[in-house]
Amino acid sequence: MKKLIILAVVLSAVAFVRADVLYWMVSDDYAKDADPNSSEIYASLFVMNGDDIVSPALATASAASVFDNYDYGDYFATDVSSYAGNSYSFFIELANGVKTNPETYQSLVQNGYITTGGIGQQNPLSSGAFGQAAGSATYNVPEPTSGLLFLVGGMLLGLKRRRQQV
């Protein structure tokens, strides 16, 4: 009986824990150039308090993980609960020195890049994650040559069968 009560208390505590999670990624233009075999840091998520950068980086990603996330259309998730408030802003810096524009905590919440509240809440991320350039989503499109080869092969197979029937 004690175990059931403890389990119920733990589950209710987990449901009410505040977890602010920032979903971020590297823009497709830069992620596709990442070396899939490198374990070196390729991207870093930084926090600014006013104009001062809070160091070290809040989160980092290796070139291999950036490439994998680009390949699978995935993103990184980082807990930013201790940086909630109007004075904080976030930016991503790549190993080559390219930086995104700093975005405030409030604007990231309003745009859906930060999920606030309990762990059970989910964010659909319909516009991608922070750091992704708008409108640069990738899609798998079949090459027209493979479709044409398939059609030509089907026609040749049909001609072969037609000659055998005559």
Mean pLDDT across the chain: 75
pLDDT of residue 134: 46
In tens, the pLDDT along 145-159 reads 777 888 889 899 888
Q: DSSP string spanning 102-146? A: PEEHHHHHHTTSEE-S-TT-----TT--BTSPTT--------HHH
Contact, 24 vs 131, CB < 8 A?
A: yes
Domain positions in the chain: 15-138
Contact, 131 vs 100, CB < 8 A?
A: yes
Query: 0.85 exceeded by the pTM?
Result: no
pLDDT of residue 9: 57
Residues of the chain with pLDDT under 50: 13-15, 119-127, 134-137
pLDDT of residue 132: 59
pLDDT of residue 122: 45
pLDDT of residue 126: 43
pLDDT of residue 128: 55
pLDDT of residue 79: 84
